[in-house]
Chains A and B, each alone.
Chain A
Amino acid sequence: MIELDGVEKTFSVRLKRGRLRRERREVRAVDGISFRVEPGELVGYVGPNGAGKSTTVKMLTGILVPSGGRVSVAGLDPARRRVELARRIGVVFGQRVQLWWDLPLRDSFELLRHIYRVPYDRWRANLDRFSEVLELEPFLETPVRQLSLGQRMRGELTAAMLHDPEILFLDEPTIGLDVVAKVRVREFLADVNRERSVTVLLTTHDLADIERLCSRLLIIDHGRVIYDGTIERLIDRYGEERTLVVDLEEPAPPLEVEGARVVRVEGPRQWLRFRRRDMTAAQLTSAVASRAPLVDLTVEEPDIEDVVRRIYAEGAV
């Protein structure tokens, strides 16, 4: 459904070098990306700023033409058949508005019906359904510019789905939303993916989105894919460090246990980091207990946040 093969995108950037001279530098925003997304998948697309995420999505949606490689979305070449492809995809840019600013929400939906040539019955059915799920009723008549961010995002999601796209591209859909709104958006996306088999490519900085929604995760950095797989596997392979937090009876100097290191001490509480493959939590607990009396303990698992942070920092997996 979505297929990239050795895709590249190079930009020519003009930099000022001193007063008058201009230097031309080639920036490889995307440097050989290949991956496939099968119909019905819900994939997360993650990477630090400037990694090439937006550029990739722009090439997938027909906004930008690749410098090299092959792109295929829903069987079409986005660069050549932009208009045809546009009918079959939905796009939501988190920080930009696709709805008509001055018009009531309903008017935007009507306009989209005409632009996408959606048969009235189908459009009506979709609108009613999404209206219900996302609770749009109260503000359907309100001009878009008067809506809150959360309301606007619900409107945008509806707008993107009214024409029954096969693929949905989302760029930071939960940015700036409060917790309740985020949950609503996530539920909607999960729904849409499950019930309508819409393939979803979700670009986001919010790793909670990924955790809750995505079965598969693509991490991109410096224009290249550095991870392509499930979240479990990611944590398994790269989240190998766990932390045992122990509350001792009384404050003590950092415990010395083989295979573990103390990373933090606060009074009687100590944080010991150990590797999954070296020992189990139980083993470490016994080792600690034999050195100092324990009152309580917790085990902290690595979460995707830590893992990805490490990957960003280290630059490679």
Chain B
Amino acid sequence: MVETFAIYRRIVASRIRSQLQYRLSFALTVAGNVLLTSLDFAAILVLFGQVDALGKWTVEEVALLYGISCVSFALTDIAVGQLDQLPRMIREGEFDQILVRPLGSLLQVVSADLALRHLGRLLQGLIILGVALTHVDVDWTPGRAAMPLVAIVAGVAIFAGIWVAFSAIAFWLIDSQEVSNAFTYGGSFTAQYPVNIFGRWLRRLVIFVIPLAFVSYFPALYVLDKPDQLGLPSALQFASPAVAVAVAAAAWVVWTTAVRRYRSVGS
């Protein structure tokens, strides 16, 4: 475990060093990333220019969903975003090289690099989250104050689990990248909106199958003390940590199975 962090720390340090070498370019990249990721919120603002509420959620309340989703996703992207390189690694034989080292394969894949530009998304997510938290109409209790943090931590685990599980498709299909993207970036987009606006099949999907609803929707219901229009038990509002653990465990199983199969069947 100790080596794990030592290694991760070193790679991060080198990446930071090499990316900061060109300060201006780096600053511009982050700024560009902030702008790009803000587009999603810009779209939300445009929609609220026409209505007062989406699915009975006000703009501040949607901003809360957005903030939690963005911050979680940005952190996940920084931590495991390298998984997007997996198809290339397999294709170019780099994954075989990974199997020859005395270290877990998943760890090696995610620590292969660190794209600091994703800090852009984190920054704009934090800003919007901050603004949302100061503007929502909430009767603050310690529980409610802690919930956004809990949601973010659980959100990171849920997003990471989804990312790992869907990236593992690369071991089976050649063109898995797009499918993986649909659920990772698409997942982030989904968690920016209140689940009750979706059609029934999609609601079921994001609650029971790919539990994106537990990243932002349920925690937000608790914070806002909002009645759930879907009529689901309020206990679900506290289930995010448990769901996160379940997703992480499932993702781990998927990954190890995928690697085992890769070692049986080759590439």
Contacts and interface: CB of A to CB of B under 8 A. Distances in A.
A2 to B, nearest CB: 15
B263 A63 contact: yes
A11 interface: yes
A286 to B, nearest CB: 58
Interface in B170-202: none
A62 B264 CA distance: 10
Contacts of B263: 62-65, 79
A65 B10 contact: no
A93 B7 CA distance: 23
Given A11-B265, A110-B10, A62 B99 contact: yes
Contacts of A114: 3, 6-7, 10
Nearest to B93: A96
B114 to A, nearest CB: 11
Contact of B18 (A64, A95, A102, A117): A102
- Contact residues on A (Cβ < 8 Å of other chain), bracket: 20 to 34
B16 to A, nearest CB: 12
Interface stretch (A15-23, A83-91, A223-231, A248-256): A83-91
B103 A61 contact: no
- Contact residues on B (Cβ < 8 Å of other chain), bracket: 20 to 34
Contacts of A100: 11, 14
B266 interface: yes
Interface of A: 11-12, 55, 58, 61-65, 79, 82-84, 86-87, 89, 91, 93, 95-98, 100, 102-103, 107, 110-111, 114-117
Contact of B96 (A63, A86, A103, A111): A63
Contacts of A102: 14, 18, 113
Contacts of A103: 14, 18
9 contacts: A58-B96, A58-B266, A61-B100, A64-B264, A82-B99, A91-B97, A96-B97, A102-B14, A114-B6
Contacts of B96: 58, 63, 93, 96
Given A83-B103, A103-B14, A115 B97 contact: no
Interface of B: 3, 6-7, 10-11, 14, 18, 92-94, 96-97, 99-104, 113, 260, 263-266
Contacts of B97: 91, 93, 96-98
B93 A83 contact: no
In the A-B complex, list the 9 residue pairs whose CB atoms are closest, starting with the nearest.
Answer: A86-B102, A87-B102, A91-B100, A63-B99, A96-B93, A65-B263, A83-B102, A114-B6, A98-B97
Contacts of B10: 107, 110-111, 114
Contacts of B7: 111, 114-115
A121 B260 CA distance: 36
Nearest to A102: B18
Nearest to B3: A114
Contact of B11 (A62, A111, A117): A111
A168 to B, nearest CB: 12
Contacts of B264: 64-65
Given A93-B97, A96-B94, A11 B6 contact: no
Contacts of A96: 92-94, 96-97
Given A86-B101, A107-B10, A115-B103, 18 more contacts: A62-B263, A63-B96, A64-B263, A64-B266, A65-B260, A79-B263, A83-B103, A86-B102, A93-B93, A93-B96, A96-B94, A96-B96, A98-B97, A98-B100, A111-B7, A111-B10, A111-B11, A114-B10
Contacts of A91: 97, 100
Contacts of A63: 96, 99-100, 263
Contacts of B93: 93, 95-96
A91 B260 CA distance: 21
A12 B265 contact: yes
Given A86-B100, A93-B97, A107-B10, A115 B3 contact: yes
Which of B18, B99, B100, B263 is most buried by chain A, counting CB atoms within 10 A of its CB?
A: B100
Contacts of A95: 93
Contacts of B3: 114-115, 117
Contacts of A55: 266
Contacts of B94: 96
Given A12-B265, A93-B93, A96-B94, A107 B14 contact: yes
